[in-house]
Copies of this chain bind each other. A is one copy, B any other.
């Protein structure tokens, strides 16, 4: 702070009343004369009085601030989630403190520490790729501190969380490819330590199994980096050899799909005629590339909205999430575009 902000005391002094009177007048407490109220409010207005939220936090042991831990802000999906969080927070009078971990565990831990120092009322978390043990979260949960996880699921019993149905999303995507007549479908998978990656892989496997196709482990390739270059290289190598060449790709991520698409083009393979392609996440660019990329859309904004709504309920103790833990699973939507339609 910096501004010579007027306080309740200033108003009280000027009006020759006590600070309690001013405090009560400002909040329309019963038992204050209309005349006093009028004078107080008038002066408050004139002095541009603004309650000091910090003092209030201290007094009430409540800060109306929630912390958000996110791996990377520069990520279409996450920025959408943040947007949803911010909307609901704002309209409920809450502030949002944002920390990005850059996928690092130490950042995650120290960010949480700072936020706790700042007396946040609750925490929304999508933890880092490095996070494999969850003590720093479960300790807090044991103390009844409100936490809602989103997108990435911790291995903590009864953790309240919001995710999308990754299994179903992947299943639908691969089923769609099969219906289009593709047979040898590659899966460019995510880092195997993330639950979302596992779920997507399982969905892929289920669709194959249902179609009576035996899964070929050599067609499941991990692309943990999630950048174009990585999947470009992987794809190029995989499709170079004409013999027994795959005819479709299900990528765990649109960026990965984009890299694959470039690799296919560099090999003069046509999409969707020669190779079908489906991504994941519906990044903003996906509809703009050529051919437009089929993808599984995750409701990022809604994830954010849902997560913070639940968090606020926990904070206000409107619902007892302790006795009735909640796992919300939101539906994905398969967006069929040109890259996977050949019939």
Contacts and interface: CB of A to CB of B under 8 A. Distances in A.
Interface string A284-318: 11101110000000000000000000000001000
B288 A1 contact: no
A82 B2 CA distance: 24
A288 B228 contact: yes
A236 to B, nearest CB: 16
A327 interface: no
A74 interface: yes
A51 B83 contact: no
Given A2-B146, A61-B1, A53 B119 contact: yes
Interface residues of A, number: 66
A258 B79 contact: no
A138 interface: no
A288 B58 contact: no
A148 to B, nearest CB: 14
Given A96-B98, A111-B90, A258-B288, A3 B52 contact: no
Contacts of A83: 72-74, 100
Interface in A61-112: 61-63, 65, 72-76, 79-80, 82-83, 86, 90, 93, 95-100, 107, 111
A262 B140 CA distance: 51
Interface in A248-270: 255, 258, 261-262, 265
Nearest to A98: B98
A3 B145 CA distance: 6
Interface in A101-137: 107, 111, 113-122
A4 interface: yes
A283 interface: yes
B51 A1 contact: no
A268 B1 CA distance: 59
Copies in the complex: 2
B86 A99 contact: yes
B121 A1 contact: yes
A265 B338 CA distance: 15
A289 to B, nearest CB: 5
B100 A2 contact: no
Contacts of A86: 73, 98-100
B1 A120 contact: yes
Nearest to A140: B3
B228 A118 contact: no
Nearest to A80: B74
A191 B198 CA distance: 46
A143 interface: yes
A114 B56 CA distance: 13
Contact of A73 (B5, B82, B95, B315): B82
A337 to B, nearest CB: 13
The 10 closest A-B pairs by CB, nearest first: A285-B285, A290-B290, A1-B119, A53-B117, A258-B288, A53-B118, A54-B57, A79-B79, A74-B79, A73-B83
Given A1-B57, A97-B98, 6 more contacts: A3-B140, A52-B119, A53-B117, A228-B288, A283-B284, A285-B285
Interface of A: 1-5, 50-55, 57-58, 61-63, 65, 72-76, 79-80, 82-83, 86, 90, 93, 95-100, 107, 111, 113-122, 140, 143-146, 228, 255, 258, 261-262, 265, 283-286, 288-290, 315
